Amino acid sequence: MAAIRRQLECTFPKEKIRDPVLYLLGRQFNVIPNIRRAQITDEIGIVSLEIEGEQVEVDKAIDYLRQSNVGVQIRNG
């Protein structure tokens, strides 16, 4: 299988800003997370994230983000 890349816009609510969500994403799934841009305040975090990996792993990673109460908008594919 070929690796794919997905561009995501992730919104972290106040209670998730300090959690190591992206670190765990890279550890738990066979994907490469790449932060392209981030804006973090005490109230919200907005992160443009690129993840690369096999389709199945990318899908699992996106599901993990959503289950972690992170808002996810897929920018491509």
Query: pLDDT of the chain along its 77 residues, tens only?
Result: 689 999 999 999 999 999 999 999 999 999 999 999 999 999 999 999 999 999 999 999 999 999 999 999 999 75
**Torsion over CA: 56, 27, 19, 47 (sign):** negative
CA angle 2, 29, 11 (to 5 degrees): 100
Q: What is the pLDDT of residue 24?
A: 95
Q: What is the pLDDT of residue 2?
A: 84
CA angle 23, 41, 70 (to 5 degrees): 45
CB atoms within 10 A of CB 38: 13
Tell which residue, 72, 59, 73, has the closest CA to residue 29: 59
CATH code, 3-74: 3.30.70.260
